[in-house]
Amino acid sequence: MIKYLLQLADNALILGHRLGEWCGHAPEMELDIALTNIALDLTGQARSLYQRVAELEGLGKDEDDYAYLRDAWEFRNALLVEQPNGDFAHTLFRQFVFDAYNYHLHQALTHSKDEWLAGFAAKSLKEITYHLRFSSEWMLRLGDGTELSNAKLKAAIEDLWGYSGELATPNDVEKELAQQGIIPDLNLLKPAIEAKMSEVFVAANVGVAAGMFMHIGGKDGRHSEHLGFILSEMQFLQRAYPGLEW
Amino acid sequence: MKKEWPLWEIFIRSKSGLNHKHVGSLHAADAEMAIENARDLYTRRNEGVSIWVVESKHITASDPDDSDPLFEPARDKVYRHPTFYTVPDEVSHM
């Protein structure tokens, strides 16, 4: 259970951090605020999850210990969320893939046998529903916009497609929890996620996404080189000044 | 060359039963995006329950140079205020 909560938390924290990197750099002032708003939602979700992990572990740790004092191989986020921001199309497509998965996952998690997890999912679902609406709308705008925006979105899809499958491919932790009825069986969730994605792909005029080699391993701690750079930036202050608060 | 998104005026209803009030303006490519941007810019501190967006070009404003003929005549007509009635104590919310 702890491993799974860390998966959820690390996805939210790392993606939130990536979105936060847009702060002050987004193509429009309004987008700057939209992206950081989503980042704050995700960071908030990560905090709740880390606090829950601390409670379950009972080792007297707090949320910061998990965020700032673990090394890369202990992080259980999917590879997708640690991929670099690239241009706005890359960030947006990464967000859309994550939101489509996250929305269906949290919808199912509201029926979890674990009461805390069901409550957490119900609360987060409201935020995630908006994230999916935001990223879906932008998929349409870019894909169905100009020739240039369509080309940029297609380039982003090509670059990131190989990371889109890991989220909904169950690892051992997820298989076990699914059997216990604590989380949904991802294989059963997959058709709904794929249906949402192809619906938006068709409307956005970027063709139908089809199978390809999928990178996996992030959920079990095997990461791309990008995570190390994120952590060295994110964790610098706590490492340099242990216990620092502000 | 960069083409600017059009400007939109944003109106927020702070709670049910109250009027939508103008809170500011923002840039967006279309009405849907204007609603999303308004949600992020103007309701993130729990300010609202409803949003209206109107593209700024659709608003016609009075000319400041006309303010004398438009507004001056009302200034000395205090009898238009309903302040010359005595309100019974039983009537609240007046």
Q: pLDDT tens digits, residue range A105-136? A: 999 999 999 999 999 999 999 999 999 999 99
Q: What's the pLDDT score for residue A212?
A: 59
Interface subset of A 111-140, CB within 8 angstroms of B? 130, 133-134, 137
φ and ψ of B63, to 5 deg? -85, 125
Question: Which residues have a Cβ under 8 Å from the Cβ of A192 and sit 6 or more positions away?
Answer: A104
User: In order of start, what are the domains of chain B with their CATH numbers?
Assistant: 7-61 (3.10.20.520)
pLDDT of residue A210: 64
Least Cα separation, residue A230 to chain B (angstroms) = 26
Which candidate, A169, A95, A181, places its Cα nearest to that of A135? A95
- What pLDDT band is residue A28 in, cutting at 50, 70 and 90? confident
A29 contacts in B (CB within 8 Å)? 27
**H or E element: which one contains B24?**
strand B20-27
Decide if A26 touches B, using CB distance below 8 A: no
Out of A16-20, A82-86, B46-50, B69-73, least confident range = B69-73
Residue B55's beta-bridge partner residues?
B8
State whether B36 and A37 contact (CB < 8 Å): no
**Nearest 5°: CA angle at B55, between B53 and B61?**
105
Quote the pLDDT of residue A221.
92
Question: Inter-chain contact B28–A30, Cβ cutoff 8 Å?
Answer: yes
Stretch A51-71: mean pLDDT = 95
Q: How far is B69 from chain A (nearest CA, A)?
A: 39
pLDDT of residue B44: 86
Q: Which residues of A touch B39 (CB under 8 A)?
A: 130
Nearest chain A CA: its distance from B44 CA (Å): 8
- Nearest to residue A12, comparing CAs of A75, A92, A85, A89? A75
The pLDDT value given to residue B1: 40
Per-residue model confidence (pLDDT) at position A61? 94
Please give the pLDDT value at position B84: 76
Distance, CA of B28 to CA of B8 (rounded, Å): 7
* Of A168, A31, A21, A194, the residue nearest A105 (C-alpha): A168
Q: Which domains does chain A have, with CATH numbers?
A: 2-240 (1.20.1260.10)
What are the DSSP calls for chain A, one per residue? -HHHHHHHHHHHHHHHHHHHTTTTTSSSHHHHHHHHHHHHHHHHHHHHHHHHHHHHHTSS--HHHHHHS--GGG----HHHHS---SHHHHHHHHHHHHHHHHHHHHHHTT-SSHHHHHHHHHHHHHHHHHHHHHHHHHHHHHTS-HHHHHHHHHHHHHHGGGSSSTTS--HHHHHHHHTTSS--HHHHHHHHHHHHHHHHHHTTS-----------GGGT---HHHHHHHHHHSHHHHHSTT---
The series of mean pLDDT values per 10 residues for chain B, 94 residues long, is 83 92 94 93 90 96 89 83 80 72
Predicted confidence at residue B74, as pLDDT, reads 84
Return the higher-pLDDT residue of A115 and A29.
A115
The 10s digit of each residue's pLDDT in A90-101 is 999 999 999 999
Give the model's confidence band at A47: pLDDT under 50 very low, under 70 low, under 90 confident, else very high.
very high
pLDDT surpassing 50 at residue A1:
yes
Contacting A residues, span 225-244, partner chain B, CB-CB under 8 Å: none
Token output for B43? 């309701």
Stronger pLDDT, A164 or B78, i.e. the higher one: A164
What is the b/e burial string over A6-37, where b = at least 16 CB atoms within 10 angstroms of the residue's CB? bbbbbbbbbbbbbbbbbeeebebebbbbbbbb
pLDDT given at position A57: 95
Is A37 an 8 Å CB contact of chain B?
Answer: yes
